[in-house]
Structure formats: structure tokens, C-alpha cells
């Protein structure tokens, strides 16, 4: 039992009476289409401005080696950050220096000296904070 049919045996459809109803001849549809066309003509075309971007094309899958010549110096160090860090280290070093702190305590009255020795660490932290804040406030750091 063969289920295929030869193309020569298939009848051709020649009936043209099955054309779908076309409303383009209707005057109401023509008026609406004309209005749409007028609106389109009245509108200015909006052209977005797209910047010209040069495409980046990689020709080889292997990255090119970096060649550093002796005359070319790349600065990896931010000098401003080094200066700020050095100032902060000096301030912290002076405040946490045992020599400076004992000299100040020796010149204080005994009751205040006892308070300073009991809260030694916290007083130093507060002093560091105040000094660094003042340096930032006056744009010295």
C-alpha cells in the first residue's frame, strides 16, 4: 500500500472566486488612510545621533607580548598618596611614642597623670583622630 501521490495527478486550483474581501475601495477606509498619511508627512523624522565608534578587531587569538624599553618609565606609584601616608605615619609615630607620652605625663599633676596612664590607649587614639581630621579639614592631606 503506497500512500504517495504523483504530482501530475494533483489537480491545480484555478478558481479565483475565493479572493478575500478587500476594504481598500471603501471611502471611509480611504479617508482614514489619508489622515494617517498626512500625520506621517507632518511629523519630522527623528534621526538619533549615534557617535561613530571604531570597532575593535582582534586578528590573532594570542595576545601580543608587552615590550618594555629601558627608556620608557611607567609610574605605578602615586606620589600624593605616598606623601599623605608618610604624614599619617609620622603623626601616629609621634603620638604613640613612649618617650613623648612619658614626658607629657611627667609634667602633669598626679591626679591627671593617673587618668592619662589608665586610659593611655584611648587618649592616643582620640589624639590621632583629631590631628588627622584637622589635616583633612584644612586640605593638608
Using one digit for the tens of pLDDT, what is the confidence trace for 15-28?
Answer: 655 555 666 678 88
Domain assignment of residue 130, yes or no: yes
Nearest residue to 92 (alpha-carbon basis) of 36, 141, 33:
141
What residues have CB less than 8 Å from 29, skipping those under 6 apart?
Answer: 23
Reported as a single tens digit per residue, the pLDDT across 89-131 is 999 998 888 898 889 889 999 999 999 899 999 999 999 999 8
In a domain, 93, yes or no: yes
Domain total of the chain: 1
Read off φ and ψ for residue 52, nearest 5 degrees: -75, 120
Structural domain contains residue 131: yes
- pTM for the structure as a whole: 0.42
Domain range enclosing 84: 79-137
Q: What is the C-alpha end-to-end distance of the chain, expressed in Å?
A: 97
Is residue 35 over pLDDT 60? yes
Amino acid at each position: 500500500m503506497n500512500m504517495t501521490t504523483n504530482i501530475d495527478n494533483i489537480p491545480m486550483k484555478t478558481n479565483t472566486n475565493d479572493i478575500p474581501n478587500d476594504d481598500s475601495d471603501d471611502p471611509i477606509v480611504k479617508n482614514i488612510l489619508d489622515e494617517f498619511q498626512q500625520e506621517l508627512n507632518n511629523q519630522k523624522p527623528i534621526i538619533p545621533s549615534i557617535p561613530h565608534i571604531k570597532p575593535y578587531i582582534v586578528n590573532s587569538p594570542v595576545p601580543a607580548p608587552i615590550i618594555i624599553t629601558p627608556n620608557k618609565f611607567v609610574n605605578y606609584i602615586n606620589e600624593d598618596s605616598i606623601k599623605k601616608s608618610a604624614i599619617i605615619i609620622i603623626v601616629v609615630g609621634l603620638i604613640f611614642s613612649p618617650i613623648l607620652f612619658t614626658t607629657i605625663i611627667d609634667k602633669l599633676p598626679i591626679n591627671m597623670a593617673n587618668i592619662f596612664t589608665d586610659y593611655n590607649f584611648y587618649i592616643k587614639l582620640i589624639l590621632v583622630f583629631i590631628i588627622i581630621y584637622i589635616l583633612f579639614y584644612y586640605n593638608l592631606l
